[in-house]
Structure 1
C-alpha cells in the first residue's frame, strides 16, 4: 500500500473527516436566568421550599405518561429506591444484564440482594427474554431490564414473564429519556421506571435522578425513602421508613424543567439521524447496526451502537479501529472492556453485605454474547453527536469507509 494512502488517516497526520464539534449540554440564556432567579430568591432547598421540584416532578410524570414521579440525587439512588419500595428482602435475587453500568447491579448488593446476570441479545445488547426464564428461581423477585443506549427492551416478552412468575419489573431507563416502546415512553411500562440526570445523559442537570410509577403504594414509599423516611401529612420529626436525604435542589429542578422543553425535539432529531446512519452503515462490509424492529417506536440514541467485525478491516483490533475513528472526528468509544460480572467487586466478592450466600460465585459466570460485545464488536457513538445534521451522519459513515480502504 502506498504511504500516502496510509498517511491519509487522521491518526497518521492526515486531514480529519469531521472538523466540527458537538457541544453538550445544550443551553441558552433562559437556562442561566432560571437558575439565577432561584439563586437570588434564596429559596434553594427542599423540603422548606420545594415548589420547583414538585413542578418538575409533575411535568416529567406527564411527559412519561405516569401518575407519579419522585426526584432524587442520582440515577443509582433511584434504582435503590425502586428496589426497596418493591419489597425485596435480604438474599432475594434480582435479574440484571451484564452489559450495563455498575449501578444496575451494585444497587442490588446495597439492598442485600443477589444480582443474577442474564446474557444479552446479540442484535440489541439488551436482556435476552429467552434467557430470563431459565434464570428464575424461587428466590427471584425483580427483573431489571436496561434500555441500553436508548434501545427499548422487548417489554412485551419481559412483562409476560414477570406476570407469569409474579415478579416486579424495574426499568433502568438511565439511557432512555424520551424513547418509546409501542407508543409508550420508556419507564412507564414496568412497575417503576428509573432515570439518571448525570452529565452525559440526554436530559441532564449535572447530577440527579428520578423514578416514575403508576402504583400509588410504590410512589408513597419511594417518596418517603427519598425524604428521610417521612410521610405525606406527617410531622417533620416523624420518620416512618429507613430513608435518607436523597432530595435534589430547586436549582436542579428549574434547570431540568428548562431542559425538558427541548427533550422531545432532540429525541426526534437523534431518532432520525439514527435511522439514516443505519442505512448508511448497512452498506459497509463488517459494520452491522443494532436491530430496530422489536417494538421501539422512538429511539433516543443515548448511544448509537454498531457491531464491528475485525475480519472486514484486515483483523484490525476494535480498540485500534475506535482510536482511528475518534481521530477522524467522530465522538466514539469502544464501550465496556468486559462484562459487569468481571469487575473486581464481583470477582473478589467485596460485597459488605450479610445476606449474599457463600455459594454465590461470579467467577463461574460467563455470558458469551456480552463477552463478544466487549471484546470484539460493540462500538459507541455518543448522543451529542446524534444531534448533528444529516451531512454529519454522511461524514461518520465516510470516516469508517476511509479507515476500511486503508486497512482492509
Structure 2
C-alpha cells in the first residue's frame, strides 16, 4: 500500500478514534437504574441479591457474592481461602496486577508460572514445578476469555491440597468442555468493568459451590460484621445487635450497580455472539497478513472473547512494536497492550522479583498488540482496523 502513514503526516484510516473496548448501554439499562434511584434502596438492597442469584444461575453455581470491583472479588477469595503470611500462591505474569496484588494483600507471596506460548494461558506443567510446601492456592487466569485447562488444574489442586481461585475477569460466558466456567473451580471471580462482557460501572463477583466459602466471602465484604444469629457469639441480644467476627473491608456493591448488571445480563448472549462473530472476521482477514499471528484456541474452550490479541513476527519488520503501535494509534485505531508482565512493575522489582522468571511470557509481551473488540463495533469498524494493520505493516515490512 502506498498510503502515507498518519504518523508521518498522511490521512488516518479513520476520522474518529476507535477504542479497544467500550460498554454497550441501552434504554432498558438506563430505565433499570432510574427505577432504583426512585425507590427506597440505593446501596445494599434487593437488587444486589437478585443480581447475585441471576449470575449464579447463569454460570451454574450455588452461590455468588457481589462486591465493589473485580480486585475486591479476588481479595475476598484469597481471604476465604485462608491465605496468609508465609503462604505462596501461584499465578501468571500475563495478567492485570490485581491477580497477584490480592495475594500480597493477605501477606502472602505471589509465585509466577510461565505461560503456554500457544494459548497465552498459564502452563499447567510449570504450575507443578513451582509448587512447594508453602503453596496454598493457584490463581489461573482465563486470559482474553479462553478457558484454562481446568481439569488438569483441579487435579493438581486435589493432589497437593490447594485452593483454586479462577480469575475469570475476561471470561464471563466462556465454556470449558461445554460447561460454563464459574462452577468448576473452588471460587471463580468475574469483573464488571465497562470494557468487560457486561458492566455494573465498577463491580465484581465471586461464585462458588462451597457454603463455607460463601459465608466467609459474605462476611469479608461487610467489615467482617454480621447480624446473622447463627453466626453471632452472643445470641441473646435484640434484633438491633451485630458483631464483628473478623477483619473485613467495605467492599459492598450498590443496588444502583446491580440493577444495571441484571439488565445487562439479559443481553449477554447477544454481546457474546457479536464478539465471537467479530473474532471470526478478524481471523479470516488477518490470518493471511505476513508477520501476523492470530489467536489460537484449544478445543476444550469456547471463549466469550474479551480481548483480541495478535503477535507480530518482528523479525519481518524494520520497526519495533513501539513504532508499529504508535503508527496504528495515529490511524485512530485504539490499540493496547495486555499486559506488562506483573513482575516487571517497579513495585514488584523492589520486592525482589527479577526479569527472566517466565521466558515465554516475556517473549509474548515484546510482540503482542490488542486490537479493538466490543459488541458495538460494526463491520466497517473492523474493516478499518484491518485496513490500518495492513497499511502500517506494509510500510514497515522488510
Q: Please tell me whether residue 393 in structure 1 is matched to residue 382 in structure 2.
A: yes
Cα separation, 2, equivalents of 1:92 and 1:131: 18
Alignment check: 8 A CA contact 1:334 1:378 kept: yes
Tell me how many residue pairs correspond in the alignment: 385
In the superposition, the TM-score normalised over structure 2's length comes to 0.91
Equivalent of 1:30 in 28, 31, 40: 28
* Cα drift, residue 142 of structure 1: 0.5
Alignment check: 8 A CA contact 1:341 1:365 kept: no
1:288: which partner in 2? 293
1:320: which partner in 2? 323
* Cα drift, residue 225 of structure 1: 1.2
Cα separation, 2, equivalents of 1:270 and 1:200: 12
Q: Secondary structure at the match of 1:363?
A: coil
Q: Secondary structure at the match of 1:259?
A: helix
Q: Secondary structure at the match of 1:243?
A: coil
- CA offset digits 1:146-188 (Å, max 9, x no partner): 1111121122222222222121110101111222221222332
* Cα drift, residue 367 of structure 1: 1.1
2:234: which partner in 1? none
2:235: which partner in 1? none
Q: Please tell me whether residue 92 in structure 1 is matched to residue 82 in structure 2.
A: no
- CA offset digits 1:244-266 (Å, max 9, x no partner): 22111110110111111121111
1:354: which partner in 2? none
Alpha carbons of structure 1 residues 13 and 262: separation in structure 2 relative to 1, 3 Å? farther
Alignment check: 8 A CA contact 1:202 1:383 kept: no
Cα separation, 1, equivalents of 2:158 and 2:295: 28
Cα separation, 1, equivalents of 2:285 and 2:39: 51
Cα separation, 1, equivalents of 2:355 and 2:391: 41
Equivalent of 1:310 in 314, 327, 335: 314
Equivalent of 1:381 in 328, 348, 371: 371
Structure 1 unaligned spans of 5+: 350-360
Cα separation, 2, equivalents of 1:280 and 1:19: 22
Cα separation, 2, equivalents of 1:284 and 1:400: 9
* Cα drift, residue 365 of structure 1: 5.4
2:259: which partner in 1? 254
Residues 330-349 of structure 1: matches in 2 within 5 Å? 330-336=333-339, 338-349=340-351
Equivalent of 1:75 in 51, 58, 70: 70
1:402: which partner in 2? 391
Q: Please tell me whether residue 110 in structure 1 is matched to residue 105 in structure 2.
A: yes
Deviates more, 1:202-211 or 1:273-282: 273-282
**Higher RCO (CA 8 Å, separation ≥ 6 residues):** 2
Alignment check: 8 A CA contact 1:6 1:12 kept: no
1:362: which partner in 2? 353
* Cα drift, residue 207 of structure 1: 1.0
* Cα drift, residue 39 of structure 1: 1.4
* Cα drift, residue 342 of structure 1: 1.9
Alpha carbons of structure 1 residues 194 and 344: separation in structure 2 relative to 1, 3 Å? same
RMSD: 2.0
Q: Secondary structure at the match of 1:331?
A: coil
Alignment check: 8 A CA contact 2:226 2:242 kept: no
In the superposition, the TM-score normalised over structure 1's length comes to 0.89
Structure 2 unaligned spans of 5+: 230-238
1:267: which partner in 2? 272
Residues 46-195 of structure 1: matches in 2 within 5 Å? 46=44, 50-195=45-190
- CA offset digits 1:255-302 (Å, max 9, x no partner): 1111111211111110122122123222111111121124112x2221
Cα separation, 2, equivalents of 1:24 and 1:362: 34
